[in-house]
Each structure stands twice: as structure tokens, then as C-alpha cells.
Structure 1
Amino acid sequence: MKNTVLALALSAALAACSAPPPSAPGMDLKAIAAVTPQAASSDAGSRWDGVIEAAQQADLTAQTAGRVASVAVDVNDRVAAGQVLLRLTGVEQRAGAEAARAQAAAARAQAVEAEATYRRFAGLAQQQYVSEQQLDQALAARNAAQAAARAAEANVAQAMQQADYTQVRAPYAGVVAQRLVEPGESVSPGQPLLRVFNPGRFRIQVQVPQGVAAALRAAPQADITLADGRVLAASEVIVYPGADADAHSVTVRVQLPADAGALMPGQVASVRFPAGGAGAGAVWLPQSALWQRGELTGVYVLGKDRLLLRQVRVGERRGDRVEVLSGLAKGERVAADPVRAAQALAEFRAAQER
């Protein structure tokens, strides 16, 4: 039923556009140049260009305000985990830490005094030298002093952490990708300072049609061709569960092996999915062989003595080639120039009417 509706729509479009009839038997087709659809090879329709990115990359930002005192590394330097990469002046932070320690010492002394006062009142209360109210007040004062001492200790930890933020350390062993500040510059919390990445973990993300994604879920394998010509087998292929509603594509993440060698983020590579080629029955044609009217797409198929305009469904477009998903089989001959084929049909029909 669906094919009948499509055929009627195509016929109506042809009539509306004053095009020649979709089929004409008895024609001499020798003068019409033809092309033969090609089935997709293991490479066709399954190779995608992408950009290498670090799977583990960190933008190191300032976590406290200050002035850059020194930067110990530069771009391409290798760093160890925990290594100090940059220092801030930190005068205010160190002063704040000293003040917090002094306040904590005072709070501890007050807590000790309050504890002693409470114990003394507790002994006097047993001999009824002080009232229950006075004992309760001493207990409350002791508890308040102990809470103040704990709060002061927390302030010390916070102040020391702020002082520690003046030293920016590498979160893991890696390579410096970017140096964004120089000594003498003032920085504020959240400002980017350095970028580092793990040189042993790289990946590529590409967008593929939904049909290709379905094939990859069944056979998640990929080969990566690097700019220097090396071909590597992917250590992992992950097909994202959702699709882009606008582009009708699915993101596929390809993990490069750990022994991929010297790579840098931003390099271009080509990814081939053995199972992600064209779908069953799909063939490829030059885009110039397509006949299009609005949303309808067709080709002129050359038979023994017949020229037939047939509707097809197309998929990807790659350069001057287009993927034909249905409506055409491998081995059928198609007019290379649909305009010339339409003219030939019109001339043949006019000759028959004389």
C-alpha cells in the first residue's frame, strides 16, 4: 500500500512538473550515458573523520585570589602527580591561617578554663555550697566553650586549605597542554591557570547515522588511521544510547589503545567501523544522476529498450556520491544525466505522436 501511494505521488509530481512519462518502451538507449550503482565495500560508508581528544584532561583553575609568584612548567612539560606547577604569593592566606591558629589557641584555653570551673562547681554542689542553677550555668558555659573551640579548629583547617591553594599541583601524571598565566598576574577564584592531560588515554568522538549506530551496537569494533599512516585497533567502542533529534545522528566514542604512541589532543584521525557500512541492499551513485522535484528523488533506470523513472530513498552524501538505501539494486544501469534522459524521453514521445 505504501509503495502504491509513493508511486501515485511520483506520477502526480511528474505530471505537475510537465516532465516526460516515467516509462517508455521501445527506445534506443545507446545515446544515453549510463552509470552502474556500486555496492558499499567494507570501507564505504563506514569511515569517519574525527579529532583526537584526551580522555583525561583537567583545567587547573585558581581556588583562591592572589598574584602569580612563579610558574614552574611550560607547554609540553611532563609532570608527576602532586607536583607543584604554580605558586601564588599567598600573603593574605598565610596571615589568615596564623590568625585562625591564634584564635583556636585562645578558644582551647577558654574551653579548659570552663571545664575546670564546671568540675569545681560540681564538687561544691555535692556539698550544697552552690545552687543547682549555678551548676547548670557552669555546665552551659563549658559546653559553649568546647563548641567554640571546635569551631575555631575548623576555621584553622579552612584557613590552612586556603593557604595550600596558593600551590597548584598536578592532579595526576601527565603533560602540560596550555599555560594561561605568567608571573606577576593577579588571579581570582575560578580563573584558568594551566591545562594538563594524561598522554596514555585518548579517544575520538564521531557522529554517525542511526542505521550505522544500530550495526555498531551489535559489533562494536573500529580501526583508527592516524595522520602518520599508522592503523590502530580501538580498545573500546561505546555507542551513546540517545540520538540527536536535529541531526538524526548518534555519538560514538572510540577509545585508542594505551600503546598508541606519541599523540596530542586536536590531531585529526580517521575511524573505520567494519560493521558500520551501508545497510543491506544499499548502493552508491554519483549525485549528478539523481532526479529531484521537491521532496521526491528518483533515477532514470535503463532497461533493454525502456527508460524508467523510479523513485529511490537516499541516505548519506559523501562528496559527489550519494547512498541509495532502497529502490535500486546493484547491477542496474542508471542514466548519468537525468536532464538528458528526460529530453530523450520527450523526443521519443513526440516522435511516436507524429
Structure 2
Amino acid sequence: MNRPLLAVLFGALTLSLAGCQKPVETKPEIRPVRTLTVSAKEAHSVGEVYSGEVKARHTVPMGFRIGGKLNSRPVNVGDSVKAGQVLASLDPGDVRLSADAARAQLESAKAQLAQAELDYSRAKDLLAQKFVSQAEVDKRQTLLTAARQQFEQARSQAQLAQNQSSYAQLLADVSGVVTATQAEPGAVVSAGQPVVLLAKDGEREAVIDVPEGKVKAWKVGQSVNVSLWANEQLNLTGTIREVAPAADALTRTYRVKVTLPANEQIKLGMTLQVNQQNASQPIPSISLPLTAVFGREQQQRVWLVSAEKEGTATVKSTPVKVLEMAGESAQVSGIQPGAVVVTAGAHLLREGQAVRVLATPAKEARHD
């Protein structure tokens, strides 16, 4: 038998043996995951949430009515002051000299007035005795009138100088809290220049900035929910007092001011969150661990687990909207109650991935 024929027979035998072998079976990869079951409780409605700051309804810049060198400023930022309390004082040397000069000028004008009255009286007596003419009497009367005017002017100047000497002390008009100091002792300040910013006692308000695309939903008189970061358990109801008619030139946002109810726990400068309720379109709000959420901005998703069969299940991703993040949890919407969400191992999964739910008891997701 020649060699070509042997090669053909050998190849046919090899193909026949290969066809008799069974194909190798590949088992699907099953990944272990931890899950969390969304509570079936009724979800509350939530709206847009914005962070803001607690500020006083009225903040007054306090300054001197006169200029001078700042001698002392006994108050600092954060100090509580009462009406009439000294906030700062100027060097009294110059104002004291001005008051002394005005007082001396007043005494001089008073003496000149007395002399003019005496001369006028004598002139009238001499006129009766025909020793002087009527023109001389008229002249003395004119000098008397001028002396009286000079006396009134000097008296007004003395009173003004006396008032200015009291202006050397800056007194609080109302009770409040010092929020800023804008001049230090030793500086020369001008009249009206702010030295201390004083937040008046009374109403407090939340100040937030709303994007121009959302500002139409904020109306004066509307009620909103307010919560303090320092005390999340304290939920307050505020009222929108003012919506800025024009956007900020830099941020292009609109300033919204919300009047807060009286509460001792509300301190100036505290950070808070303002939640605009939208009862007509409720959005289920669900709290999940941050590890359950993946994806980029505006494309966040979570893995949902299908019903288990023989200990295994598959996953499918679904988009969610992140409403708020705090600590290690995220407040999201877009998940229905009863869904099973993957909370650990989300970054290792793919669509349709087979998973094995670990036996660790899972907590139910909390609705806020």
C-alpha cells in the first residue's frame, strides 16, 4: 500500500475518533452576593433638597457717626450683647478739644450779646435826652440783632460738639450677636465705616441657592420642610419669605430665604437642608448603602435579584435617581417596595449574571 493511501486512511480514522468524544461541559460562573430587601411600607413623598445656612433676619453694620482712631473694641465674634452695651470706642482727645472750643466760643458769644444789649439800652436813654440821633439807636439795634444770632449759632455748635463727644462710643441699638468685626484697635476709621456686624435677636431664616431651572417651583408663602445637620431628628416647617428676582452674577442661582420657627436649637451659622414637598407627584425615597449604587453621574444604577431557583438567581440592572447622600448611605428613588437589591459585590456583576445569595440575614431598606 502506498504512502498517500495510508495518510488518507489515518486522517479518516482520526476524525472518526474525534467525533465519538463527548463535548466538555462548562458550568456557568456563580458569584456570591449580599442583598437587601426593600421594605413594603408606603413611601413618603420627597421633593428637591437644598443645603443652606441659618442666618439672622436682620444684620446691622454698626459704625461711628464721626471719624477717629479706634481706641478699643471690647466685643468679639460670637459675643451676645444687650441694647446700650459699648461695642467700641474712639480716642476721645480730639472730640474733647472740639467740645471745649465750642464751649469757649459760646461763652464769648454770650458776653458779646450782653454788651450789645447794654449799648442798645443806653442809646435809647440818650435818644430820649436828645444826646444821640435816631441813626445811632438803629445802629445799636442792628448790632444787638447780630449778637443774638451769633449767640444762637455758638450755642448750636456747642450742642453739636457735645453730641459728638458722646459719639466717641459705639453703643448697640438692639440686643443681638456679633457676627463679624471689621476694624481692629489702632485703626483710623471714617464716619459710617462698619466696625461690627450685629445680628439682631428674633427671627432666624434659612438661606439657600436654587438653580434657575428649579426656581419657578419656589413661591413666597409656601411651606417647606427643614432639618438640621446637627440634629437630624428635629424636623421643622418653614415658610418661604423671599425669592430673589434676579440670579447671582457668578453662580447663576437664585437666593431663597425661608423663615424658621422659634427654636432654641437653631443657632446662627448652622447647616441645614430644605426639602420642598411635592405631594401631587410622590417619589418613593429609599435608603440604600453606597455600595449598592454604581455608575456615573446621571447614570446611577443598582442590581436587582430575580427569584431564586435551587439556590441560584440572576441579576438585572435598573436605573435609579440619587436624591441625597449622607455618610455611608444614599437616598434613592426608582425602586419598588419588595425588590431585592445587591448591596455587596455589585462591581463584579454583569447583566444576567448568575448569583448565589449569601445566607446572612438582610435588613430591610428604610423609607424616609
Aligned to 1:263: 267
The one of 75, 82, 85 equivalent to 1:83 is 85
Contact kept, 8 Å, 1:60 with 1:193, in 2: the verdict is: yes
Aligned to 1:292: none
Give the C-alpha shift of residue 91 in structure 1. 0.8
Give the C-alpha shift of residue 93 in structure 1. 1.1
Q: Distance in 2 between matches of 1:112 and 1:127?
A: 23
Percent of pairs identical after alignment? 28
Contact kept, 8 Å, 2:212 with 2:247, in 1: the verdict is: no
Q: Secondary structure of the equivalent of 2:223?
A: coil
Aligned to 2:112: 110
Contact kept, 8 Å, 1:210 with 1:243, in 2: the verdict is: no
Q: Distance in 2 between matches of 1:181 and 1:89?
A: 14
| Change beyond 3 A, Cα 1:111–1:273 | farther
Q: Distance in 2 between matches of 1:59 and 1:162?
A: 20
Aligned to 1:252: 256
The one of 229, 233, 239 equivalent to 2:242 is 239
Q: Distance in 2 between matches of 1:214 and 1:231?
A: 25
Q: Distance in 2 between matches of 1:198 and 1:138?
A: 59
TM-score of the aligned structures, taking structure 2 as reference length: 0.55
1:156 aligns with 2:164: no
What letter is aligned with 2:228? L
Give the C-alpha shift of residue 221 in structure 1. 1.6
Q: Secondary structure of the equivalent of 1:200?
A: coil
| Change beyond 3 A, Cα 1:119–1:204 | farther
Contact kept, 8 Å, 1:213 with 1:239, in 2: the verdict is: no
Give the C-alpha shift of residue 261 in structure 1. 3.2
Contact kept, 8 Å, 2:177 with 2:198, in 1: the verdict is: yes
What letter is aligned with 1:264? L
1:273 aligns with 2:271: no
RMSD: 4.0
Give the C-alpha shift of residue 177 in structure 1. 2.6
Contact kept, 8 Å, 1:199 with 1:263, in 2: the verdict is: no
Contact kept, 8 Å, 1:63 with 1:188, in 2: the verdict is: no
Q: Secondary structure of the equivalent of 2:103?
A: helix
What letter is aligned with 2:187? S
5+ residue gaps in structure 1? 1-39, 290-316, 321-354
Aligned to 2:173: 171
Q: Secondary structure of the equivalent of 2:245?
A: strand
5+ residue gaps in structure 2? 1-42, 285-296, 301-321, 326-368
What letter is aligned with 1:198? K
Give the C-alpha shift of residue 212 in structure 1. 6.2
Contact kept, 8 Å, 1:216 with 1:239, in 2: the verdict is: no
Aligned to 2:59: 57
Q: Distance in 1 between matches of 2:221 and 2:195?
A: 42
Question: Which region of structure 1 is more displaced relative to structure 2, 187-196 or 243-252?
Answer: 243-252
Give the C-alpha shift of residue 239 in structure 1. 3.5
Q: Distance in 1 between matches of 2:219 and 2:172?
A: 37
What letter is aligned with 1:256? L
| Change beyond 3 A, Cα 1:287–1:106 | same
What letter is aligned with 2:116? A
What letter is aligned with 1:221? S
Q: Distance in 2 between matches of 1:243 and 1:68?
A: 38
| Change beyond 3 A, Cα 1:157–1:219 | closer
Aligned to 1:196: 198
| Change beyond 3 A, Cα 1:84–1:248 | closer
Matches within 5 A, 1:1-354: 42-45=45-48, 47-125=49-127, 129-183=131-185, 185-189=186-190, 190-208=192-210, 216-217=218-219, 220-228=222-230, 229=232, 230-234=234-238, 236-240=239-243, 242-244=245-247, 250-265=254-269, 267-274=270-277, 277=278, 287-288=298-299
Q: Distance in 1 between matches of 2:222 and 2:126?
A: 81
Q: Secondary structure of the equivalent of 1:222?
A: strand
